[in-house]
Structure 1
Amino acid sequence: MKNIRPIAFWPPVILFVAACVYNFQNQKGFTRMINDANSWLMSNFAWAFSLGVLIMLTVVIYLMFSKFGDVRIGGREAVPMLDDVRYFSITLTSVVAIGILFWATSEPLYHLTSPPQSLKITPNSPEAAVFSLSTLFTHWGFLPLAIYAVPSVMFAFSFYNMRKPYTLASTLTPIFGDKVLGKWSQVIDATCMYALIAGMAASLGTGVLSIAGGLKYLTGVQTGAFLWAMVDIAVVATFVISSITGLFNGIKKLSEINLAIFILLAVIVFVFGPTFFMLNLGVEAFANHLDTFFEKAAFTGAAAGDPWAGSWTIFYWCNWLAWAPISGMFLGRISYGHTIRKALFIQFVLPALFEIIWMVIFGGAAINMQLSGGGLMEAMSAGPEFAVYALLEKYPIAIFTIPVFVFCMFLSYVTGSDAFTTTLGGLSTTGISPDDPEPSMLMKIFWGIVIGTVTWVMITSAGVDGIKMLSNLGGGPALILELLICVSLLKVASKPKVYDYRKHDYTDDGIPIKSVTKKNIMSEGTNDKASKQKIS
């Protein structure tokens, strides 16, 4: 207890206990309160979310092609703690895998059958099919990955190169100086922790429902509070155990298995599904995505009074932003030893391309089946989590693919929760540094129990939507924080030598010196413990 950062730790805990109690006492009042708050946020600040996301994308692209991209995280002698494949697998499975498993099949069906009224697209038409898939590229492509990349790069540079403390406030020191590292740092961390805890609980709740739906398909057992509790306990216990074993002994192995299963599932659906329809629709939809990129990214529906954007695009921007600051801390932490450009390629470019391909396969298959009278919308009447099982059931070897998909869903939630539990634990306590980056075992167990309990309470009472709304309320403060981080990044990128602890890594003109070879590293030696953590 003596190591707890009180301002960062207690407010999120107290707020969630209060939310659960209020939900039990007055569920209608709780739902009305958070719905009203979200409606106010969406309707008044849709413009800010849309512009903010586009600004972040612009900053990330600029960084990739600037001289700042040559800067190595941790110094030019730093050895990557993860090779490229493991770095990518952890990034993908801890950040976006959960979402694409759940939404790749169900979301395109909503857009196909209920496109925005203001666009006057006929439901279930060819135009609706193209709109549906191209909208997936907007919601799950380069824009959301840019939201994550901004705090990731800035935190990695501030933590490893500037040698600042393990707090989100460190990303703001180029603007405000070290005075922001006092109590203000705990306030910033508490706000982002609140948003992430709600997001994790909402995500876990979605996962519990999805896994329970898969078990129902496999065994016929009825879903309900008891089955949800059993799945919840299994997921929480697994990710807590994985988290306790340390970053590389737990999440590294889980993410590698998870990535292999992702590729296997994609290949199966691509081969046994409507292959040429997927490819043809995918090319057409991607062209439409490029043509309408800014239109879709900035669509608010205000002129026509269309609520579609608030339910989908703006809702997504809020949700991505609520997760991004603390997710970025985790991604920044595992970026040690890579250049800024390499980190952005693996965190930003590759996952976005993977998601687009995944959406072409699963989204294209779902659209084709619905247009052919496959009845996927009827299957979703019991919940969106049933769409993918209804899809896989129509394909050969469903007896194999459905259990594998359920297992992949389980692993995805475990992997993501493992990463974020470790980050929450680090923000809750003092003493986290590059040389000692792991929080205590008890802190990881505590956050695992909190998230699992909040998840079960919410899905058995208010449902997942209620806690999603709680998470989204963190999108407003996160937007302000991320825009400030953008300013920090641009300031650092213009003169990295001024801020880098290792001045000798630059020429007199401030140009980053190319990294030394591994042979030179071994001969020169290093006292940096983090650089010795390379996984062969």
Structure 2
Amino acid sequence: MKNISKVFYITIFLVILAVGYGALSPENFEVVTSNIKNFIADTFGWYYIILLSFLLALSIFLILSPYGKIRLGKDTDRPQFSTITWIAMLFSAGMGIGLVFYGAAEPLSHFAVNPATAEPGSAEAFKESLRQTFFHWGFHAWAVYGIVALSLAFFQFRKGQPGLISATLKPLFGKKMEGPWGTLVDVLAVFATVFGVATSLGFGAVQINAGLNYLFDVPIGIQSQLIIIAIVTVLFIISAWSGLSKGIKYLSNLNLVLAIALLALVVILGPTLLIFNTFTDSVGGYLSSLIELSFRTSPLNAENREWLDAWTIFYWSWWIAWAPFVGMFIARVSKGRTIKEFLFGVLVVPTVIGAFWFSAFGSTAINIQSTGIQDLASASTELVVFEMFNTMPLSLILSFVAILLIISFFITSADSATFVLGMQSTNGSLTPPNTVKLTWGIIQSTIAVILLSVNGLTALQNTIIIAALPFSFVIVLMVIALMKSLKEELKLMKK
């Protein structure tokens, strides 16, 4: 394979070590990674909370400041993709599959199983469940993606640097980023991306298996899940092979159509008035309590702190770990947009869509639970949405559309990742060779298969969260380098 950088070989070596450890000693791997993850949550939880709140504040500042007029590219460049397609692409790569997986399950859990502060099953728990879910999937998550993507897009398209994480640090460290230190930064980004997507492949296969079992009595087990991964792997490699302007673009638009169709069906067939009322009320609650939620650490309440570690700190770590992959993909499809247009689109649109999605699915699930129609809270996470559909009219159609959407999101996330991994391992090439993308696609699926077969997905998830800590320091440096360069760029524009 041509143009392969040393990042490729170093990351492959580290992946083999980690996966080998997980495959040969899965229980020990899970115990060790869980202990490290818990230590990081306890020790650095305050740091994650401050960091993400700072990134959100910085995003708002950049939108409102004169820096917002700077274009991500030359002044004559214009967006390659239409706004609708662009939103569909960033949404699909960012967290699309998570909305289906957690759309009903997370609000239901916050309501009936383990609320943050309210009494389980109470009216206050209902309100809190949606407010907390909006918080976890809203502005803070997209601020992480947005700032990382902005930095990459600015240096790549405006300053002519290669599309690498390390290249964004050159204003601070100069040529050193072309040596071992730059390689270390890029290896960390690729490692987090590989394991992050492999985890999604594993969990996605489990949920598709659950849906197919509900619809067609397909057996739930490792054999079915391996077949699902094999089929999806072929599909996402074909999509990645066809390029950014074909496969990924068309699939992202398909995702948007299927998601709107499923959302509309749930709103119409579910408790429609309740959905609109809870959406309106919960958005107000989310916005009015945003500052308090953003800085809550519960230092004097051990039980509440445990909840924060399990939910908020977990999500903040997860978004940081996914930032190299999602940020790089969003950057790649955002050339030609101004900083104001870019950050507003990345922050506001997915947050609003996500809030309405969780209102529809969460309110429907909680209504079913609280009225005693069915005990959804006792179902496993991957089955909650299908059990919910089972109580609604047109249940087979709802489940079928949901499975199609999961598969479509599944393929889009994976082929976006192969594209990004190809860029990262070919010195930032905007058109990585198909052989490189094929190799990464097979590697990701192999990791998922191996660790799924030994029940090692939880340990893999822990590994990604652990990788988030060192990458968070990289994000801090990226912000400093970006602000330094934006200040210089604004001076040049004024001249």
Deviations 1:83-105 (A, max 9, x none): 11111111111112111111111
Q: Could you tell me how far apart the structure 2 residues matched to 1:199 and 1:130 are?
A: 31
SS class of match (1:278): helix
Matched, 1:202 2:199: yes
Which is further off, 259-268 or 342-351? Answer: 342-351
Q: Could you tell me how far apart the structure 1 residues matched to 2:373 and 2:166 are?
A: 51
Could you tell me which residue of structure 2 aligns to residue 242 of structure 1?
239
1:215 is displaced (CA, Å) by 0.3
Could you tell me which residue of structure 1 aligns to residue 108 of structure 2?
109
Could you tell me which residue of structure 2 aligns to residue 158 of structure 1?
155
Runs in 1 of length 4+ with deviation above 6 angstroms? none
SS class of match (2:202): helix
TM-score (norm 2): 0.96
Distance 1:220 1:2, change over 3 A: closer
Matched, 1:469 2:462: yes
The structure with the greater share of residues assigned to helix is 2
Query: For the Cα contact (< 8 Å) 1:80–1:336, is it kept in 2?
Result: yes
1:463 is displaced (CA, Å) by 4.1
Matched, 1:3 2:3: yes
* Structure 2 letter corresponding to 1:135: Q
Total equivalences in the alignment: 493
Deviations 1:392-438 (A, max 9, x none): 122222221211110100000111111111110111123x44xxx11
Query: For the Cα contact (< 8 Å) 2:130–2:362, is it kept in 1?
Result: yes
Distance 1:487 1:376, change over 3 A: farther
Could you tell me which residue of structure 2 aligns to residue 392 of structure 1?
389
Q: Could you tell me how far apart the structure 2 residues matched to 1:111 and 1:391 are?
A: 16
Matched, 1:67 2:66: yes
Q: Could you tell me how far apart the structure 2 residues matched to 1:127 and 1:229 are?
A: 42
From 404, 409, 412, the counterpart of 2:406? 409
- What are the residue-to-residue correspondences of 1:121-140 with 2, within 5 Å? 121-140=118-137
Structure 2 gap ranges (5+): none
Matched, 1:440 2:433: yes
1:328 is displaced (CA, Å) by 0.9
Q: Could you tell me how far apart the structure 2 residues matched to 1:140 and 1:371 are?
A: 24
Distance 1:497 1:181, change over 3 A: farther
Q: Could you tell me how far apart the structure 1 residues matched to 2:115 and 2:265 are?
A: 32
Query: For the Cα contact (< 8 Å) 1:67–1:493, is it kept in 2?
Result: no
* Structure 2 letter corresponding to 1:114: V
Query: For the Cα contact (< 8 Å) 1:321–1:478, is it kept in 2?
Result: yes
Q: Could you tell me how far apart the structure 2 residues matched to 1:31 and 1:152 are?
A: 32
Structure 1 gap ranges (5+): 509-536
The structure with the largest alpha-carbon Rg is: 1
Q: Could you tell me how far apart the structure 1 residues matched to 2:175 and 2:277 are?
A: 54
Q: Could you tell me how far apart the structure 2 residues matched to 1:448 and 1:74 are?
A: 30
From 278, 302, 308, the counterpart of 2:275? 278
Deviations 1:463-522 (A, max 9, x none): 432211111111101211112222223223333246xxxx6xx231xxxxxxxxxxxxxx
Query: For the Cα contact (< 8 Å) 2:89–2:253, is it kept in 1?
Result: yes
From 264, 267, 277, the counterpart of 2:264? 267
Could you tell me which residue of structure 1 aligns to residue 361 of structure 2?
362
Query: For the Cα contact (< 8 Å) 1:301–1:308, is it kept in 2?
Result: no
Which is further off, 47-56 or 366-375? Answer: 366-375
Matched, 1:258 2:249: no
Distance 1:285 1:315, change over 3 A: same
Could you tell me which residue of structure 2 aligns to residue 507 of structure 1?
494
Could you tell me which residue of structure 1 aligns to residue 22 of structure 2?
23
TM-score (norm 1): 0.89
SS class of match (1:474): helix
1:223 is displaced (CA, Å) by 1.0
1:163 is displaced (CA, Å) by 0.7
Q: Could you tell me how far apart the structure 2 residues matched to 1:406 and 1:161 are?
A: 40
1:116 is displaced (CA, Å) by 5.0
Aligned CA-pair RMSD:
1.6
Could you tell me which residue of structure 1 aligns to residue 57 of structure 2?
58
Could you tell me which residue of structure 1 aligns to residue 325 of structure 2?
326
SS class of match (1:78): coil
